[in-house]
């Protein structure tokens, strides 16, 4: 199947009904699978909101979104930060309404196009099999991987306490991601198949991003989170 043309790519619906229709279409899509080359350019993207927000937040909340690109030969990731407003309150399964355009803008602000993007959200582990990580990849026409601390709907036993060990995350008899133990003594991460990636590829990308140092979170995602929070602090948020 040929890659989708730019005019065929989805945008960011403005309401729940439209988003659910888009998610159903994305779940049924069959883009060509992506496999990482020997030295992929990996980006991470993260959005934060003012400290002290309670509950679901609200449409219009100030937001700071950052992307960080880790490329071969760089001592540290290069970052880009955008400021904006949340599109909606937080609702499980509908995170694209709140954060989608902000994350897209942050990735597009990077000086180079990445090969794959790590997202603090789920992909196939979703009621309609199309969480924010998958939706963002379709909008950007880039492979994506979700990285979270816990699954949304899927379940599975933790892997053995050995670095690199993984075990399947299953939703309705389908493998939609994996528990991944990046450090022997650390709680595993939930890694998510998303746009053009499966559970195996997702785990490989995350392991590569945690190979340097002792941190549990992949370096590009860690750098994006730090950049977003620094920008919030600078703005008094």
Query: What are the DSSP calls for 168-222, one per residue?
Result: EEEETTEEEEEEE-SSTTSPPEEEEE-TT--HHHHHHHHHHHTSSSS-SS-HHHH
Q: Which tokens sit at 210?
A: 């945690």
Could you give the CA distance from residue 202 to residue 154 in angstroms, rounded to a whole number? Answer: 16
Phi-psi region of 95 (alpha: psi -120 to 50; beta: other; left: phi over 0): alpha
Lowest-pLDDT range of 150-154, 178-182, 209-213, 222-226: 209-213
Q: Tell me the pLDDT tens digit for each residue of 27-85.
A: 999 999 999 998 899 999 999 999 988 889 999 999 999 999 998 888 899 999 999 99
Question: Looking at the domain assignment, is residue 3 inside a domain?
Answer: no
Measured between alpha carbons, how far is 2 from 96 in angstroms, rounded to an integer? Answer: 26
Assigned domain for 89 exists: yes
- For the record, the structure tokens of 216 come out as 């549990």
- Read out DSSP for 161-179? SSTT-EEEEEETTEEEEEE
Residue 14 lies in a domain: no
| 165 neighbors 191 (Cβ within 8 angstroms) | no
Q: Residue 72: its pLDDT value, please? A: 81
Q: What is the CATH number of the domain that holds 207?
A: 3.30.2170.10
Q: Please report whether residue 24 resides in a domain.
A: no
Output the six-digit token pair for 124. Answer: 């196939």
Contacts of 56 (CB under 8 A, 6+ apart): 89, 90, 91
Nearest CA to 108 among 61, 60, 45?
Answer: 45
| Nearest residue to 191 (alpha-carbon basis) of 171, 174, 162, 169 | 169
Q: Residue 4 has what pLDDT? A: 38
Question: How confident is the model over 107-115, as a mean pLDDT?
Answer: 97
Work out how many domains the chain is built from and give that number: 1
HEC string of 133-156 equals HHHHHHHHCCCEEEEECCCCCCEC
Query: 186 in a domain, yes or no?
Result: yes
Residue 211 reports pLDDT greater than 80: no
Q: What is the domain range of residue 199?
A: 39-234
Q: In which residue are the tokens 């030295």 written?
A: 39
Residue 30 lies in a domain: no
The DSSP code for 3 is P
The dihedral over CA atoms of 122, 111, 12, 155, expressed in degrees to the nearest 10, equals 0
- Whether the predicted pLDDT of 97 surpasses 90: yes
Q: 185, 9 in Cβ contact below 8 A?
A: no
pTM across the whole model: 0.94
Structural domain includes residue 9: no
Asked if the structure places residue 168 within a domain, the reply is yes
């Amino acid at each position: 199947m040929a890659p989708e043309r730019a005019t065929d790519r989805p945008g960011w619906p403005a309401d729940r009904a439209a988003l659910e229709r888009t998610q159903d279409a994305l779940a049924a899509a069959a883009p060509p699978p992506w496999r990482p080359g020997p030295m992929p350019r990996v980006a991470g993207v993260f959005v934060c909101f003012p400290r002290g927000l309670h509950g679901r937040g609200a449409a219009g909340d100030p937001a700071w979104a950052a992307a960080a690109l880790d490329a071969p030969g760089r001592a540290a990731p290069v970052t880009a930060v955008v400021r904006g407003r949340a599109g909606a309150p937080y609702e499980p399964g509908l995170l694209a309404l709140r954060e989608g355009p902000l994350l897209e803008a942050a990735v597009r602000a990077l000086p180079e196009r990445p090969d794959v993007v790590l997202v603090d959200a789920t992909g196939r582990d979703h009621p309609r099999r199309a969480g924010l990580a998958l939706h963002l990849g379709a909008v950007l026409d880039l492979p994506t991987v979700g990285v979270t601390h816990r699954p949304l709907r899927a379940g599975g036993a933790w892997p053995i306490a050995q670095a690199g060990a993984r075990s399947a995350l299953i939703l309705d008899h389908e493998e939609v991601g994996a528990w991944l133990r990046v450090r022997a003594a650390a709680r595993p991460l939930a890694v998510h198949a998303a746009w053009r990636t499966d559970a195996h590829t997702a785990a490989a990308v995350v392991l590569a991003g945690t190979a340097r140092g002792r941190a549990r979170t992949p370096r590009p995602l860690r750098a994006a989170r730090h950049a977003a929070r620094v920008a919030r602090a600078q703005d008094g948020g």
